Amino acid sequence: MTLEPVAAHAPLELEHFLPYRLSILSNTVSQSIATEYQDRFELSMTEWRVMTILARFPEISAREVVDRSAMDKVAVSRAVARLVDAGRVDRGIHDGDKRRSVLKLSEAGWAIHDEVAPLARAHERELLARLDEGEQAQLNSILDKLLAL
């Protein structure tokens, strides 16, 4: 008594399923930017994220990087370790709380940042170029709503 057995199961249509579409888009975009700096600077995506945070908020602790980045603390710890190792980040100790680190980009770190940041912005512009002004504004406002915890 089962005509159209597949339809009876109501499979998801991935190509119209929002979470799936978001994931494809996000991966494509992030990856296309990442491949540019990964080879050139031997820089992982996590490391680059940490660097952008430190560029905007110098002299913060690893904990604050975690808070500001929505990354997990182990990932940050490892990224910072490698960045310090590579001489791209300077790590100090907080006065009055010896647990806390105080992180900032080194000269070398800034040099890389200043090369990669425009490149990332260019990718964003290229992506947004497919939308007109109105759509760009709509997208922003929609993302605001979806990201509001």
Does residue 44 touch its own copies according to CB under 8 A? no
**Which residues pair with residue 91 across a beta bridge?**
103
Site string (2-41) toward its own copies, x via CB under 8 A: ----x--xxxxxx--xxxxxxxxxxx-xx--x--------
Q: Which residues of 105-144 are buried (b: 16+ CB within 10 A; e: fewer)?
A: bbeebbebbeebeeeeeebeeeeeeeeeeeeeeeeeeeee
SS3 60: strand
CB of 107 to DNA, least distance (A): 21
Does residue 106 touch DNA according to CB under 7 A? no
Partner from DNA, its own copies, none contacting 40, C-beta within 5 to 8 A by type: none
CB 48 within 8 A of CB 76: no
Torsion sign over Cα 105, 107, 111, 112? negative
Query: Which stretches of the chain bind its own copies, using CB under 8 A?
Result: 6, 9-14, 17-27, 29-30, 33, 49, 52-53, 55-56, 58, 68-70, 110, 113-114, 117, 120-121, 123-124, 127-128, 130-131, 135, 138-139, 141-143, 145-148
